[in-house]
Structure 1
């Protein structure tokens, strides 16, 4: 087993992601049913409201949270909720989501 395979484990927001050659690709910025998303922007270790709000040519987006378990979405009030208010699943099942 390679060193990179042994290094796998708990992936969280801001986790550094490397390619097979050990080069930094970016940092985890979000999760959904397909896996995790990595930002390659220099100096960005997490996804914030400032990264997703107005000012883009393609329109305005709102950074929200979304529950992996039930699909409930809500506005971010400082941080992700400790549990989904709809189904009660733990915070680990809640991820950042952008909504047009």
Structure 2
């Protein structure tokens, strides 16, 4: 691994490619196990039912901070957590009931 590769930062929305250069998707979340990739066009590909809560018991798609648990509207993903200042890399998709 080159120095450039070892110091490269990945963040929410970073495109991920396989060894042949084919795009696999974009990073949508991080946790202690690694990162999660959205294989669709991300939030833009989700239907209105996924974005907003419908009937009672249906989930609403939100963002959540890994560090402090702050939650916000998915349409307004911040560059850093407004509550604790954690970087965008610590923000991931969250389904809120």
Q: Give the TM-score category using the shorter length.
A: 0.5 to 0.7
| Cα distance in 1 between the residues matched to 2:24 and 2:6 | 16
Residue 47 of structure 1 aligns to a residue whose secondary structure is helix
- The TM-score with structure 2 as length reference comes to 0.60
1:49-60 equivalence runs, <5 A: 50-51=46-47, 52-53=50-51, 60=58
| Cα distance in 1 between the residues matched to 2:86 and 2:19 | 32
- Superposed CA RMSD: 3.3
Query: Which residue does 2:19 correspond to in 1?
Result: 20
Bigger fraction of residues in helix: 2
Query: Which residue does 1:90 correspond to in 2?
Result: 86
Check conservation: 1:49, 1:62, Cα contact below 8 A: no
Give the aligned length. Answer: 88
Instruction: Summarize deviations over 1:66-88 as a string: whole Å, max 9, x none.
Output: 22123x24231741344343xx2
Q: After TM superposition, where is structure 1 displaced by more than 6 Å over at least 4 residues in a row?
A: none
Identify unmatched segments of 5+ residues in structure 2.
Answer: none
Identify unmatched segments of 5+ residues in structure 1.
Answer: none
